[in-house]
Structure 1
Amino acid sequence: MKSFLILKFTLLLFIKVSFAQNGYVQKTFQLPMSNEAKPYFVKLVGTDYLLNGDIVVGNTLQHTRLYQTSDRNSFIWPKGNVPVEIDENIQQTSSVKDKSNMSLYDHVVRAISSLNSTNLRIVRHTNEKDYIRIKMVGPQDLGYNGGSSPVGKQGGEQVIKVTYDVTSRVIAHELLHSLGFWHEQSRYDRDNYIVIDTSNIEEKNRHNFQIEPGTPLGEYDYKSIMHYDAYGFAKDPEKPVIRCKNGNTISDCKFGPGPYLFSDADIKAINTAYYFNAGLAKAVYREYMVKPAGTAFQNSTGNQDRLTNVGVVPITTGWYKIKVNQTGKYLAIEGISMDNGARLVQWDFVDQGNHKFFVQELGGGDYQLSALHSNKYINVAGQSKADGSAVIQWDWANQDNVKWKIIYRAKNEGGLGGWEIKNKNSGSPLCLNNMFSKNNGEFFIVKNPVYEDGAYEPVQTFSFERITEQQPKLREEKLYEKSPGMLKQVKKN
C-alpha cells in the first residue's frame, strides 16, 4: 500500500510538473452559459487564466469564480450602445503600416466598423461604468502573437489584449468573445462535423480544443471567424489538425470566412443575439478622423473661382430639383405631406411641389433648404448629432440642425463626384439609409462614411438642377413672415 501511495504521488507530481512546464493548470470555473462549475485545463499567462488559447476565464487576483450564472442574457450587452475604448498605445501606432498599408489602429477601427454593420452598436467609451478596453501588449505578455478576451459582459472595465502585428480578423474575433460568443470548433456537437488529429498538435497546445459551454445560435459553421484554421497548432505544418466530417466521410477542407471578416452565419448569429437593436440607428465609432473623400471645394464666395476653374457652377439662392447621383432619383417630401416631421425621401421626379426645393444662402457658407409645397425646412430631427438620425421637414427655427454646408467633391473615392450636403449641427453628410438603393421611398439620414474592408465607403453626392420657372408669390410672402430680411434676397435672385 505504501509503495502504491508513493507511486500515485509520484505520478500526480509528474503530471503536475508536466502541466506546469507547459503553462497549464487545472482550475474549476462556472463559465458563461454553463449550469455548473467544471474543471478545465487553463494556461496561466501573467495573472490571467486562458482557456483554449485566448479566452480569459479568471485571474490569480480573484477570490471567487469569474462567472456565477448560467443565464445567457446576463453576458449579452444590453440594448443600445457597447462602449469601447482604444488604448492610447494603439492610437500611437497609426503611422506604422503593415504590408496591407494598415496600422494596428486601422485594423481595430475596421473590425469595429464591420461589427457596426450588424445589429451591434459599438461607440466610443466616455463615462460609462461598463465598457471594453482594447490594449496592445507584447508577445511575451500573451505567450504568443495574437489576442485574448473574456466571454460576454463582465461589468466594469474588461480588457481585450492584442499584440502589435494582429489583423482586423483577430481583433474582430476577440471582440466577439467579449460580446458573448465562443469558439465554433469547441461546440458541444463539434464531433458530428469535424475530426481533430490530436497526434499532430504540439504538446504545449493540446488543451486548446476543450469543449466550451453555451448554446450555438445556428448550424455548424465551417466558415465562421470563430473557427480555428485547419493547420492551427500543428506539429507538422504539412498536415491538417482539423478535417471536415460528413457522416463517415472525412476530408480536408478550409475553415474561416476566406477574404471576408465574417461568414453569413456569423452575421446571422450576431443579429440573432442582438435582435433587440434591430430598430436602432446604426452606430459609427468616432474616435478616428473620417478620411476626406477626394478634393473638396466649399460652396462659398471665397471658393467660387476654384469651382469655376473645374467647370462647376456655384450654387446660389434659388429653386432646384436635387438629384441623388448614385441612384438617379430626386429628393422629395414623403407623401406630399404638409406636416411637421414628414421624412425626406428619394423618388422618381414628379412635377409637383414636394419635389422642388428653395435653396437659400445664409452667409458664411451656410444654406437652408425648404420644400415648395409646404414651405417647411429640411433639418435633422430633434437636433440630433447621432449617425443614423432622420432627416425631416419642420417649421423654420434659427438652429444649426436646419443649416447645411454644400461642398463640391471633385473626386469621390469609390463613388461619384458632385455636391455633398453636410448638416451644420452634427457635421455629418446627408445620405440615403441605403446609399445605393434605387427604391422609391428610401429615406434620408445623416451619417459619416464607415471604414470597412480597408477603405471608407463613398460619400453620397447630389446634383442641383436649377428651376427657371417663375415661382409663386406665396413663397415670398411666407419668407417675409418668417424674416423680413429674406424678402429682399429672394427678389434679388
Structure 2
Amino acid sequence: MQVPSFSILAYSALFGTISLTSCSKDQQARPAQPEQQAQAQAELAYPNQTGELKTGEWGGQPVSYQEINGDKVYEGDILLTSEQLATSAGGQQRPGSAGRTTGRWPSGVVYYAIDPALPNQARVTGAIAHWQANSPVRFVQRTTQTAFVTFRVGSGCSSNIGRTGSQQYINLASGCSTGNTIHEIGHALGLFHEQTRADRDAFVNILTQNIQSGYEGNFTKYTDLGYGGTDFGALDFGSIMMYGSFSFSSNGQPTIVKKDGSTFNIQRTGLSAGDKSGIDVMY
C-alpha cells in the first residue's frame, strides 16, 4: 500500500526534528507543582472530559484516539478529521483520504482567519509574530482561499494536524496562552509531540503507572504504531512540542522523567533552537 504523503510528512520529516537543546539539571522526581498541573491540563481539547477510546487506521497504520463530543482527539490536543479516519458502513476503520492533502502548507504560507468572537486576540497575533520571526513560515489573512486555519473559541487548546485542504481550526479556551497558541500552530504546520520519537527511551522513562486512564496512547512511539521515520539530534526537552514531566498524570506524580530520574518543566514560551531547526527542514 502506498503511504499517503501526509503520513510521510508527519512521520519522517517531523518526528525528531525538534532537537538540539541543553537543559540545566532538574530536581529529582517530585509531585507536580500547581502551575505545571495547570499547564498540562490546559493543553487538552476537552479538559476534564474523556471519551470512548477507539482504534482505527490513519494513513494505513493503526492509531488510537478518543471520541469526545463528536471530535476525534489524538494525543490530547490533536483533532483528526473524518477524512483522516474514514469509517466504513460496518464500523471498521479504514485508511482515510489523507493522501489527497499535502500535509505541508505550499510555499510555507498559512492562510488564516480569526473569529471575531475570540477574546484576547493578541495571543493569536503574538503567536503568529513569533513563528514569523523564527521560521520561514508566513501567515496571510484569508480572503477567498478554501484551505485556511480559523482561530476560534474552544473548550480547551486544540488543533487539526497539518494542512487538511479545507477550513480547519485552532481552538482556544480562555486559559490558552500565547505559548499554547504557538504550540497549536505547530500542530497545524504538521508537528507532532516530541516524546513520540523512536529513540525517546534513550533519554526518558515513561512511568505508565501514573498516566491517566485512556491517555496511555499519548505516549506511544511512532515506531510502535508501525511508522518509519528519522530522528535528528537529541530529544529536545526544551521543545515547545514536548510534554512536561507531569502531563496527563493521574496522581500528581510524573509521567515522564529523565534517565537519572529527574523531572523537567513543560516549556510554552517560544520555539527552541531545535524547533527552529526542525521547521527549517520541513519548510
Q: TM-score, normalised by structure 1?
A: 0.42
8 Å CA contact retained: 1:227, 1:255 = no
2:172 equivalent to 1:172: no
Partner of 1:270: 279
- Equivalent of 1:109, from 120, 125, 129? 125
Give the secondary structure class of the aligned counterpart of 1:185. Answer: helix
Give the secondary structure class of the aligned counterpart of 1:269. Answer: helix
Equivalent residues in 2 for 1:330-349 (5 A)?
Answer: none
Match for 2:256: what amino acid? I
Equivalent residues in 2 for 1:406-421 (5 A)?
Answer: none
8 Å CA contact retained: 2:211, 2:255 = yes
Partner of 2:56: 28
2:89 equivalent to 1:74: no
Instruction: Tell me by how many angstroms 1:27 deviates.
Output: 2.6
Question: Partners in 2 of 1:155 and 1:252 — Cα distance?
Answer: 42
User: Closer, same or farther in 2 for the Cα pair 1:55/1:80, shift >3 Å?
Assistant: closer
2:195 equivalent to 1:195: no
Task: Give the structure, 1 or 2, with the largest relative contact order (CA under 8 Å, sep 6 or more).
Answer: 2
User: Closer, same or farther in 2 for the Cα pair 1:243/1:45, shift >3 Å?
Assistant: same
8 Å CA contact retained: 2:242, 2:267 = no
- Equivalent of 1:235, from 250, 256, 280? 250
2:152 equivalent to 1:124: no
8 Å CA contact retained: 2:153, 2:173 = yes
Question: Partners in 1 of 2:202 and 2:275 — Cα distance?
Answer: 20
Partner of 1:37: 61
8 Å CA contact retained: 2:115, 2:151 = yes
User: Closer, same or farther in 2 for the Cα pair 1:273/1:256, shift >3 Å?
Assistant: farther
Partner of 1:54: 77
2:234 equivalent to 1:225: no
Question: Partners in 2 of 1:182 and 1:51 — Cα distance?
Answer: 10
Question: Partners in 1 of 2:233 and 2:102 — Cα distance?
Answer: 20
8 Å CA contact retained: 2:111, 2:147 = yes
Instruction: Tell me by how many angstroms 1:224 deviates.
Output: 0.5
Question: Partners in 2 of 1:182 and 1:243 — Cα distance?
Answer: 19
8 Å CA contact retained: 1:29, 1:57 = no
Match for 1:262: what amino acid? L
Give the secondary structure class of the aligned counterpart of 1:126. Answer: coil
Give the secondary structure class of the aligned counterpart of 2:129. Answer: helix
User: Deviation per CA, 1:41-69, whole angstroms, max 9, x where unpaired?
Assistant: 21112221111111112349955744544
8 Å CA contact retained: 2:50, 2:68 = no
Partner of 1:83: 111
Equivalent residues in 2 for 1:352-391 (5 A)?
Answer: none
Question: Partners in 2 of 1:166 and 1:67 — Cα distance?
Answer: 31
User: Deviation per CA, 1:115-148, whole angstroms, max 9, x where unpaired?
Assistant: 01111101211111211111112x3xxxxxx312
Question: Partners in 2 of 1:203 and 1:121 — Cα distance?
Answer: 39
Instruction: Tell me by how many angstroms 1:211 deviates.
Output: 2.6
Question: Partners in 2 of 1:67 and 1:172 — Cα distance?
Answer: 27
Match for 2:61: what amino acid? A
Instruction: Tell me by how many angstroms 1:179 deviates.
Output: 0.4
User: Deviation per CA, 1:165-224, whole angstroms, max 9, x where unpaired?
Assistant: 210111111111110111001122222211111111222433322234554454311110
Question: Partners in 2 of 1:256 and 1:165 — Cα distance?
Answer: 16
Match for 1:227: what amino acid? M
* Structure of greater Rg: 1
- Equivalent of 2:160, from 132, 150, 160? 150
RMSD: 2.5
% identical aligned pairs: 27
8 Å CA contact retained: 2:195, 2:219 = yes
User: Deviation per CA, 1:427-455, whole angstroms, max 9, x where unpaired?
Assistant: xxxxxxxxxxxxxxxxxxxxxxxxxxxxx
Please, which runs of 5 or more residues in structure 2 have no aligned partner?
1-48, 88-93
Give the secondary structure class of the aligned counterpart of 1:89. Answer: coil
User: Closer, same or farther in 2 for the Cα pair 1:165/1:257, shift >3 Å?
Assistant: closer
8 Å CA contact retained: 2:86, 2:97 = no
2:258 equivalent to 1:244: yes
Match for 2:114: what amino acid? I
Q: TM-score, normalised by structure 2?
A: 0.71
User: Closer, same or farther in 2 for the Cα pair 1:130/1:171, shift >3 Å?
Assistant: same
8 Å CA contact retained: 1:240, 1:252 = no
8 Å CA contact retained: 2:78, 2:159 = yes
Match for 2:203: what amino acid? Y
Please, which runs of 5 or more residues in structure 1 have no aligned partner?
1-20, 94-102, 140-145, 275-493
Question: Partners in 1 of 2:97 and 2:230 — Cα distance?
Answer: 16
Instruction: Tell me by how many angstroms 1:242 deviates.
Output: 0.7
